[in-house]
Chains A and B, each alone.
Chain A
Amino acid sequence: MSWIAPSLTIAGKDLRLELRTRDVIASVGLFVLLVVVMASFSFPTTGEGRDAVAAGVLWMAFMFAALLGMGRSMAIEKEDACMDGLLTSPAPRESIFLGKLTANLAFTGVVELVILPVFVVLLRLAPAGGVPLLLLATALGTLGLVTVGTLFSAIAVNTRGREAILPLLVMPVSIPVMIAAVKVTQAAFAGGTGEGTVAWVLLMVAYDALFLLVAIATFPYLTEG
């Protein structure tokens, strides 16, 4: 059986559930909006170092948004043993991971697409020529973060303090891709490529590819009882 059809079926089911409940988009979106608004009042919007601070704040907000969303996404599979329903179906276990990953990317992506313009306006940033780079950083950084997060949420969901465990697992492992994302975003806010930007982008590409392969290979073992 192909991985694609069951992955899309599982992602579609998650999106349908989210449209029905709006659990993730509403709570996470509001949380990130709050962070961004508070940041706009707390951090300097002019002067040297503004771009670096803005990039750091933005990715902290994105990371917490992703963590909240991914934790919830796997928790719905735990309720009423829905994961057992997936595991006893013919869907390859890799496709279960890819389905959850696709849905998590969609949730996080929607929140980011809403927040990003608000953030740019509130912090009076002027990426102008850096917009493509900003979108590239967002896409690659989110892919790495959500890949690691989706994998670890499958572990954390079986623990008692899953909300606390997930960040503890994800944050250390995602440090390389987060640093790279912040660096590239900082360059984008400065209006274009800065020194070493290409290397940071390549680091994100390598990180994403590596963890995507690791996650696909290990997820079936994580779901064994």
Chain B
Amino acid sequence: MQNLPPLGIHLQGVAKAFGRQVALRAVDLDVTPGSYVALMGANGAGKSTMLKVVAGLVTPTRGTVTVGGVDMRRAGPRLRAMVGYVSHETMLYADLSGRENLSFHAKLHGLGRGTDAIDRAADRFGIGSYLDTPVRSLSRGMRQRVALARALLHDPRVVLLDEPFTGLDEAAAIGLTETLEELATPERVLMVTLHDVARAMSGPRRLLALAGGRIVIDRPLREADDDVAASYLDLLRTEVAR
């Protein structure tokens, strides 16, 4: 990893509306370096928008987002190089192979062809034998693995993963859980959106639950924290009832 200061994330009064649809409402949040945060909530709660705002892909309607003290609207290449982001979509070119996709992103990140980084990512996500297959021909789960490899290829300080377990079989999901544990180091921030309460209880150290674009639960997590899990399930029941 590059010798760079740890980066914290700070959201102040962040609101985002897409036309009349409000995705985030005056969100205040501090995420310190070393945090591993599970971001949960019902569909449409604002989880993906929050990650996009932090990644600098979406500009807030109001409020400010800073990463490492820098406003993401003014994020330069140096800061963007420290962010790794996975969205619902794979962000992969379907007619290129996994290796070509990874090599392309390695070049954009100034890693040359990225041969070593690609080999490490291939080992980590078990995609070695599929690297030369066009992405179009890969299964959903295998594409997701390549997408994760792409996002982590440059060893980012801020890791933003939007439903990273989507499409993964159980073995790959266990592997990803272990990888996220390895990545949760004091100098790194992990924010991961999840739907599965059990997964949130096995790794993340903080739970943020959103409802209607607001943070309604913000609690530290300990292993098998039944109290927090129950609070979250109550929240979901309320959301369903509404």
| Chain A residues proximal to chain B, CB less than 8 Å | 1, 5-6, 9-10, 13, 16-17, 20-21, 76, 79-82, 84-92, 224-225
Contacts and interface: CB of A to CB of B under 8 A. Distances in A.
Given A6-B108, A90-B77, A91-B77, A80 B89 contact: yes
Nearest to B16: A225
B56 A87 contact: yes
A225 B87 contact: no
Contacts, number: 76
A90 B81 contact: yes
A21 B100 CA distance: 15
Contact of B56 (A20, A76, A88): A88
B174 interface: no
B52 A225 contact: yes
A17 B89 CA distance: 19
Contact of A9 (B77, B92, B94, B107): B107
Nearest to A89: B108
B95 interface: yes
Contact of B108 (A9, A21, A76, A224): A9
A80 B147 CA distance: 11
Given A20-B96, A80-B91, 6 more contacts: A21-B95, A79-B94, A81-B88, A84-B91, A85-B105, A91-B77
Residues of B in contact with A, size category: 20 to 34
A225 B107 contact: no
Contacts of A92: 77
Interface SS majority for chain A: helix
25 contacts: A1-B77, A1-B110, A5-B110, A9-B104, A9-B107, A13-B93, A13-B104, A17-B93, A17-B95, A17-B96, A80-B89, A80-B92, A80-B94, A81-B91, A82-B92, A84-B87, A84-B89, A85-B92, A88-B56, A88-B57, A88-B83, A89-B81, A90-B108, A91-B108, A225-B58
Interface of B: 52, 55-59, 77-78, 80-81, 83, 85, 87-96, 100, 104-105, 107-110, 150
A216 to B, nearest CB: 16
Contacts of B93: 13, 17, 76, 80, 82
A89 B95 contact: no
Contacts of B88: 81
A10 B107 CA distance: 9
B99 to A, nearest CB: 12
A99 B118 CA distance: 24
Contacts of B105: 85, 89
Contact of A88 (B80, B96, B107): B80
Contacts of B108: 6, 9-10, 86, 89-91
A16 B94 contact: no
Contact of A16 (B58, B80, B100, B150): B100
A225 B95 contact: no
Contacts of B81: 89-90
